[in-house]
Amino acid sequence: MNRRRLALPVAALGVVAIAMTACTSGGSGGGSDDPNAEFEFWSFTGIGQQDSVNQYLEQNPDAKVKLSEVGSTAETATALTAALAGGRVPDLVMIQNDELPKFIENPGNFVDLRTLGGDDIGEGYLDWAIAEATGEDGSIIGIPTDIGGLGFAYRADLFEAAGLPTDPDEVAEMWSTWDGFIEMGKKYTAATGEPFVDNVETSVFFSTVNQVTEKYYTPDGELIFDTNPQVEEAFDVAVRTYEAGISAGIAAWSSGWAPGKANGAFAVSTAPSWMLSGYKNDAPDTEGLWRVTSIPGVGGNWGGSVIAIPARAKNPQAAWKYIETMLSPEGQTAHFARTGTFPAAKSALESTEVTSYTDPFFGDSRIGEVISNSVLQFQSFHNGPDTSAIGAALLNALVDMEAGNVAPRDAWQTGVDSARAAIGG
């Protein structure tokens, strides 16, 4: 909402700071049947969840919502883990997809939403999105809020100054492969003397590693991150991008990232659907200069979340009313139009409101079409309980490489060793 979700990459970067104060609020059981009772909702920071809550309150003036933005996706998951272990739980909680496997292992900690919405509750959503929230016993613990179809944003004015194409279709054709992307970056940097892409860890690695057919686990749950050639190749694309000298080395969500969007410190950055609003917030004076087009390779997905109701929630019916209203296909379509958060509901994905969506900030690029195509090309893979920790370790190895602390030839092994240490392997 990987949205989402501007806090998602904070988790990816491995920033772990527990918002323990959040664990003292929320319900402690009781099961009120009042659909308008005040309910506690834990969300991530930086994703604009207040907008969704305000929209809900406009439609339901008798409702009462206490929104707590706990922290990053990792911090929210940590706080939830502590609450489930004996603290006071919220009535409603957002869980980012990479964090979800550790919770789906114990579905009894959550309300089986089939008991509230019927056995067919999951049929309206993308199969792989609802499958991630389904326990081995068939219980559905969360409804997908959104997905994170991938795209790239680029500065058309800077491309023009470098003598590169500016039309989104022409750009997509020129960088249809990752080798083509690197070569295009070399041309840009040679012409301008400036970096092409913001960084290699999120814009390149997190794109390539989310285009694979198997990631860190086999479909049966076996760890393969350190032996999977698809993951190593994704990592190698990031290393080769760095070695080409076209990266600004400005980490996502670092202090230089937002100014870099505004001042042209780089021309290209990743743009999963949930991230698009960040460009407007970070660089409002660049309206009309950006374009959005497909990424090299075969599309992909980065991010996505579900909303769940803990089993000990005090006001589950009020929480369920929010889910029914805001996560319905109609609700997701309306939320997309307001925030750019890409729907996970099938009928919403197929609606003209989504597929024909453009935005003047991005030069009226066909954003809906780009992101829809990216999602449709996405070949889902199995995530396990340590997906987030492994991804953070590999990503941080690339951050260290860009900082000059790790040699490119050593970066892969450094990341693998860090991941093994992080998961106790």
- CATH number assigned to the domain comprising residue 249: 3.40.190.10
How big, in percent rounded to 5, are the helix, strand and coil portions of the chain?
Answer: 50, 15, 40
Say if residues 130 and 308 touch (Cβ distance below 8 Å): no
Please list the pLDDT of the chain residue by residue as tens digits (425 residues). Answer: 333 333 333 333 333 232 333 333 334 444 678 899 999 999 998 777 898 899 999 999 999 999 999 998 989 999 999 999 988 999 999 999 989 999 999 999 999 999 999 999 999 999 999 999 999 999 999 999 999 899 999 999 999 999 999 999 999 999 999 999 999 999 999 999 999 999 999 999 999 999 999 999 999 999 999 999 999 999 999 999 999 999 999 999 999 999 999 999 999 999 998 888 889 999 999 999 999 999 999 999 988 899 999 999 999 999 999 999 999 988 888 888 777 789 999 988 888 989 999 999 999 999 999 999 998 888 889 999 999 899 999 999 999 999 999 999 999 999 999 999 999 97
Residue-level pLDDT at 31: 60
193 with 328, same domain: the answer is no
Q: How far apart, in whole angstroms, are the C-alpha atoms of residue 111 and residue 117?
A: 11
Residue-level pLDDT at 16: 29
222 with 315, same domain: the answer is no
Burial class (CB in 10 A: 0-12, 13-18, 19+), 398: buried
Which residue segment(s) compose the domain that 159 sits in? 152-270+386-423
The residues with which 149 forms a beta bridge, in sequence order, are 301
Q: Are strands 301-308 and 152-155 parallel, antiparallel or unpaired?
A: unpaired
163 with 253, same domain: the answer is yes
265 with 392, same domain: the answer is yes
Q: How far apart, in whole angstroms, are the C-alpha atoms of residue 349 and residue 34?
A: 32
115 with 21, same domain: the answer is yes
Q: How far apart, in whole angstroms, are the C-alpha atoms of residue 67 and residue 79?
A: 15
Q: Which pTM was predicted? A: 0.85
In total, how many domains does the chain have?
A: 2
Say if residues 339 and 47 touch (Cβ distance below 8 Å): no
140 with 159, same domain: the answer is no
SS3 305: strand
Token readout for 140 is 């559905």
Residue-level pLDDT at 46: 74
- Furthest-apart CA pair in the chain: how many Å? 66
H or E element that contains 372: helix 367-377
Q: How many CA atoms lie within 13 A of 130 on its CB side?
A: 20
